[in-house]
Amino acid sequence: MKIDPGKPDDLSAQIAGAIRDAIVAGTLIVDERLPSEAELAEQFDVSRSTVREALKRLAAQSLIRTQRGATGGAFVNRLSFEQACSQQITTSTLLLSMNAVSFGTACEARYALERACAPLSAARRTADHLATMRGEIHRQSQPELSDEAFCASDVAFHRALVDGAGNPVLSYQLAGAVEAMQPLMNMITFTARDRARIIDLHRGVADALEARDGAATLAALTALETETQALAHSVFAARAKKRP
Partner DNA sequence: CAATTTTCATATGTCTGACAATTAATGTTT
Partner DNA sequence: AAACATTAATTGTCAGACATATGAAAATTG
Q: Which residues bind DNA (CB under 7 A)?
A: 9-12, 34, 36-38, 45-50, 52-53, 55, 66-74
Report H helices in the chain: 11-25, 37-44, 48-60, 81-98, 103-124, 127-140, 147-163, 168-179, 181-185, 192-210, 214-242
Cβ contact 73:59 at 8 Å: no
CB of 41 to DNA, least distance (A): 7
Nearest alpha-carbon partner for 125 in 87, 170, 84 = 170
Q: Is 170 in the site for a copy of itself (CB under 8 A)?
A: yes
CB of 56 to a copy of itself, least distance (A): 5
Binds a copy of itself by CB under 8 A, chosen from 11, 15, 16, 41: 16
Q: Is 105 in the site for a copy of itself (CB under 8 A)?
A: yes
Q: Say how far apart CA 150 and CA 156 lie, in whole Å.
A: 10
Q: Is 53 in the site for a copy of itself (CB under 8 A)?
A: yes
Burial of residue 161 (CB within 10 Å: 0-12, 13-18, 19+) is buried
Please give the C-alpha separations between residue 47 and each of 13, 52, 56, 78, 119, in angstroms, as whole numbers: 14, 9, 15, 28, 55
Q: Is 146 in the site for a copy of itself (CB under 8 A)?
A: no
Q: Taking CB within 5 to 8 Å according to partner kind, which of a copy of itself, DNA, none is near residue 90? A: a copy of itself
Q: Is 59 in the site for a copy of itself (CB under 8 A)?
A: yes
Neighbouring C-alpha atoms within 13 Å toward the C-beta of 117: 30
Burial of residue 55 (CB within 10 Å: 0-12, 13-18, 19+) is buried
CB of 57 to a copy of itself, least distance (A): 4
Q: Say how far apart CA 229 and CA 104 lie, in whole Å.
A: 7
- Which CB sits closer to a copy of itself, 96 or 137? 96
Binding-residue pattern over the window 187 to 206 for a copy of itself, x denoting contact by CB under 8 A: --------------------
Residues in contact with a copy of itself by CB under 8 A are 9, 12-13, 16, 20, 23-24, 26, 30, 49, 52-54, 56-61, 63, 68, 78-81, 84, 87-88, 90-99, 101, 105-106, 108-109, 112-113, 115-117, 120, 165, 167-170, 172-174, 176-177
